[in-house]
Copies of this chain bind each other. A is one copy, B any other.
Amino acid sequence: MESDLAIKRLAALAQESRLAVFRLLVKAGKGGVAAGDIARALGVPANTLSAQLGVLANAGLVLSRRDGRSILYAADFDAMGALLLYLMEDCCQGRPEVCAPLAEVASRAACCSEKQGVRS
């Protein structure tokens, strides 16, 4: 990953309500959530939320598709994985002091994904 893109993604997540949006979308899974429902859940005006979703989408952290009158937003898990991989490998050079504590979480995930595939 280019550091430009990593910076864009870091900046997109570095704001309270955008991080809240992303976390909500992670919880929701691949099905996604309508923009209006996100706005209601977070108590943010629709146009403000739209701008925030725009930043996340521009950073490639969320995907959107229209469903009737609504537009469904979903977290892009691959993009987030790529960002974390960048931070671990390119930025931190795989240093054990940084990366070793992550082994348990990562291997648990790897284990689950092999056993039962993808969950939503």
Interface residue ranges, A against B (CB under 8 Å): 3-4, 6-7, 10-11, 13-16, 19, 22-23, 26-27, 77-78, 80-81, 84-85, 87-110, 112-113, 116, 118-120
Please state if B97 and A113 are interface contacts (CB–CB under 8 Å): yes
- The 5 A-B pairs of least Cβ separation, nearest first, read A96-B113, A99-B109, A77-B97, A10-B14, A11-B14
Please state if A106 and B116 are interface contacts (CB–CB under 8 Å): no
Task: List 13 additional A-B contacts (Cβ < 8 Å) besides A3-B16, A77-B95, A88-B106.
Answer: A3-B19, A7-B16, A81-B100, A81-B102, A84-B87, A84-B99, A85-B105, A88-B105, A96-B112, A100-B106, A100-B118, A103-B110, A106-B107
Contacts of A26 in B (CB 8 A): 91-93, 95, 98
A31 to chain B, nearest CB (A): 13
Contacts of A90 in B (CB 8 A): 23
Name which residue of chain B comes closest to A87, CB basis.
B84
